Amino acid sequence: MKPHLLGNLRAYYLGSVVCMGGFLFGYDSGIVGGVLTLPSFLSDYHAPAAHSTRTNSLAVGLQQLGAFVACFFIWPITNILGRRKALMLSSVVFCIGALIQTINTGSLAAFYVARVIAGLGLGAASVVVPMFSSEMSPKELRGQIGSFFQLFYTLGIFTSYWIDYGVQQRIKGGEARQWQIPIGLQLLPAGFLGLGMITVKESVRWLMKKGREEEARKSLVWIRGGDTAEVEEEFMEIRTGLEIERRETEGFQIKELFEKDNFKRCNLAFWVFVAQQATGATAFAYFGPQYFKLLVGGGSKDLLLTAIFGAIKVAACGLFVLFLADRVDRRWVLIAGAAFMAACQITCAVVVKEKPSPGQGKVTSSGIATVALIYLFVIAYNFSWGPLPWPYVSEIFPTRIREPGIAIGVSSQWLFNFVFSLTTPYMITNMGWGTFLLWGLFDAVIAVFTFCFLKETRGRSLEEIAHDTVLKPKVVEHIEVENYAGGK
């Protein structure tokens, strides 16, 4: 097999293995909203319907709090142990939390604690995965493989929705296994992530930083499919970039993050992930049944509509990753995606306000229209703000501050994931149609933010991006043309 083809296959394989962290994130995100509505769970945990809003809020929000905390502990750990061992550790921690959740303790307090523990593992993995993926992917495939995280996330959500729907239909409401099966299945992707690390090589750039050049060379040769002139050129480029960074500053200190250019990068990463959460898509992932109840009035259709929602997410994200990820400019896709989502959400708010659902599961033409708008919204999200923030943020940092930089960005994702997951049940209960209007206004602001502050990174090496801190989008496009003309 030709080195180029073998290298691409290995890059796809590594991306698939590490992005099981994304599948785990998605599966957990999707499973909990449905589980919390199952009669068996409500009975075993003595969770009265009158307190459902609080239960929903805490069961989801506390895990996001654990994930947020983990972001600040994992980057020094991955700097010491490497990417592979850090992901193994994340997998073990998550499995402990998932196992406690699966045991029928009958105590909501124990369930909440287990959610926090699982969140620690999930948050740690979400920091390391984009870091590892960006450092090992060839620049021609970096956007596509970096978007695997979102693709696997949507696959996880899709799987969880249909499992929730299946156990509701097939298992009697009084049996504990109705909720234990979907919760316990979290252990499978977590175990695959941890064990999968045995089959891949350590990050080339991390090995180079540690002075282990021979191992780094072997790792690069493995991931590129052979020892070729292009691989040697890339190895020298990585080594030169690291040598420049070592000369510029010796001995990393936290205060470096507050230096002008580094602070700009950290600030940008923070707000990119805040924007991703403020689109409203993650809230839909967690509380799909509750949202569709608001649109169509409850009944037996909530979980089915949520499962179809998950299938559309997978199809949209799959099409983007396979055919568009590295063929379109990140910046303009993010702008268009946010604008389209704003239109869908605001229109949905108007329809729900003017033609509210009559309840009792009666589906009206206005209900069908709002469901269609939400499906269009999720398609737009998975063509833009779903997959692209992960590769974008992992690309903008030089190696020297990549670990803390990505940790800052991903921590904001978990922080606002926590904020919105904690508040969304109350928004649905108290605001009704105003919930959709709020998300729509957020999306409009995000479109403006993207137009004003984001720059293009597609088709450029990490070393090139690392030494570019002030270029405007048009200048970046000009440089890309020059680089491709020069054979870079």
The 10s digit of each residue's pLDDT in 318-342 is 888 778 776 778 888 999 999 999 9
- Using one digit for the tens of pLDDT, what is the confidence trace for 206-260? 999 888 999 999 999 999 988 888 889 999 988 887 887 677 556 667 777 887 7
pLDDT tens digits, one per residue of 462-473: 666 666 643 333
State how far the Cα of 17 lies from the Cα of 133, in Å rounded to an integer. Answer: 10
Q: What is the pLDDT of residue 204?
A: 92
State the Cα–Cα distance between residues 67 and 281, nearest whole angstrom: 18
Nearest-5° Cα angle at 384, 61 to 6:
105
User: Whole-prediction pTM value?
Assistant: 0.73
Sign of CA dihedral 9, 11, 12, 17: positive
Cα separation, 441 vs 308, whole angstroms: 26
Q: Cα–Cα distances in Å, from 306 out to 31, 128, 164, 287?
A: 11, 30, 10, 9
Interacting residues of 243 by C-beta distance below 8 A, sequence separation 6+: none
DSSP string of 153-180? Answer: HHHHHHHHHHHHHHHHHHS-TT-THHHH
396 to 87, 240, 389, 393: CA distances (angstroms): 22, 18, 11, 6
- Answer whether 436's CB lies under 8 Å from 352's CB: yes
CA 149 to chain centre: 6
| Alpha-helix residue ranges (DSSP H) falling in 225-329 | 229-248, 260-278, 281-286, 288-296, 301-319
466 and 238 in contact (C-beta within 8 Å)?
A: no
pLDDT confidence band for 304 (50 / 70 / 90): confident
With bands split at pLDDT 50, 70 and 90, how would you rate the model's confidence at 487? very low
Cα(4)–Cα(313) distance, integer angstroms: 31
Dist. CA 149–CA 409, nearest whole Å: 15
Please check whether residue 473 is in contact with residue 452, taking contact to mean a CB–CB distance below 8 angstroms.
no
Closest by Cα among 201, 244, 245, 199 to 220: 201
Tens of pLDDT along 393-412? 877 887 677 778 887 887 88
Distance of CA 39 to the CA centre of its chain: 30
Average pLDDT of 255-268? 84
For residue 201, CA distances in Å to 94, 206, 225, 331 come to 23, 11, 12, 32
How far, in Å, CA of 413 to CA of 126, rounded?
10
What the chain holds in terms of domains, given with CATH numbers, is 3-200+259-454 (1.20.1250.20)
Across 63-72, 265-274, 378-387, 439-448, the highest mean pLDDT is recorded for 439-448
- What is the rounded CA–CA span in Å between residue 386 and residue 333? 11
Is a pLDDT exceeding 90 seen at residue 302?
Answer: no
Measure Cα distances from 166 to 4, 24, 184, 374, 458 in Å: 43, 19, 15, 23, 41
